[in-house]
Amino acid sequence: MNKKTWLICSGLAMAIAGYAIVQYLIMDAHQAGFVQLKLLFIDTLNSLWYAMLYMHIVFSVMALGIGPFTLSSKFRENNRKRHRMLGKFYMLGILFGSISGLYLALYATGGLVAQLGFSALALMWMITGYQALVHIKARNIDEHQKWMIRNYSLTFAAVTLRIWLLLFTVSFGFDNFMISYPIISWLCWVPNLIIAQWLIGRTRQERGVIVK
């Protein structure tokens, strides 16, 4: 990932992380747009749902904010101890963020398609994080980095979800939200994963050229 792309992704990640902190942790989460939207389709939300929402926000924001630094080769080379420490916090964010995300997916607005979309995202987030952890413990740095790129592309779904929501709302209006949201539940992460795999392949090709 070049510096310009890294800066853009980092800026978007920090903006969404900051928004989530203000909206859910500083202000009244019960008045947040996401919660109010849920209440349009569900009469009441139980205390466990709110607990899982808070867990998801806290740990997902942690992962979203830390991720760019763990992926930065410059930061990694100059701050190896900090890189390992941040990596542990990042994995903690993935663990609890994905568990709570899987629970919240069961209540996703938009029916079965949306529930499956967000459930698949939570599971893939957990699996790619586990793979990254397994490879770093085996000291397989190259594979660890590949799985971290895949994993952060899924973490970045927090950003792309909101971008797609804005685009679909502007293009098709809020009246079609129940049609749009199930599509977005897949669109917010599947293209991210495809792009991540493309970046991995391109990096491999560039290394091959250098070696030759």
What per-residue confidence (pLDDT) applies to 30?
63
* CATH number for domain 3-207, candidates 1.10.3470, 2.60.40, 3.40.1350, 1.20.120: 1.20.120
Coil, helix or strand at residue 93:
helix
What per-residue confidence (pLDDT) applies to 29?
63
For residues 62-78, b (16+ Cβ closer than 10 Å) or e, as one string?
bbbbbbbbbbbeeebee
Q: What is the pLDDT along the chain (212 residues), one digit of tens a residue?
A: 667 777 888 999 999 999 888 887 777 666 666 666 665 566 567 788 888 989 999 999 999 999 998 888 888 888 888 999 999 999 999 999 999 999 999 989 889 999 999 999 999 999 999 999 999 999 999 999 999 999 999 999 999 999 999 999 999 998 898 999 999 999 999 999 999 999 999 876 665 543 33
What per-residue confidence (pLDDT) applies to 76?
83
Rg (CA), the chain: 18
What per-residue confidence (pLDDT) applies to 174?
83
Those residues with Cβ within 8 angstroms of residue 43's Cβ, 6 or more apart along the chain or in another chain: none
Q: DSSP letters of 179-211?
A: HHHHHHHHHTTHHHHHHHHHHHHHHHHHHHHHH
Write down the pTM of the prediction.
0.87
Coil, helix or strand at residue 173:
coil
In degrees to the nearest 10, what's the CA dihedral of 191, 55, 70, 15?
70
Q: DSSP letters of 98-131?
A: HHHHHHHHTT-TTHHHHHHHHHHHHHHHHHHHHH
What per-residue confidence (pLDDT) applies to 175?
86
What per-residue confidence (pLDDT) applies to 182?
96
pLDDT tens column, 103-159: 999 989 889 999 999 999 999 999 999 999 999 999 999 999 999 999 999 999 999
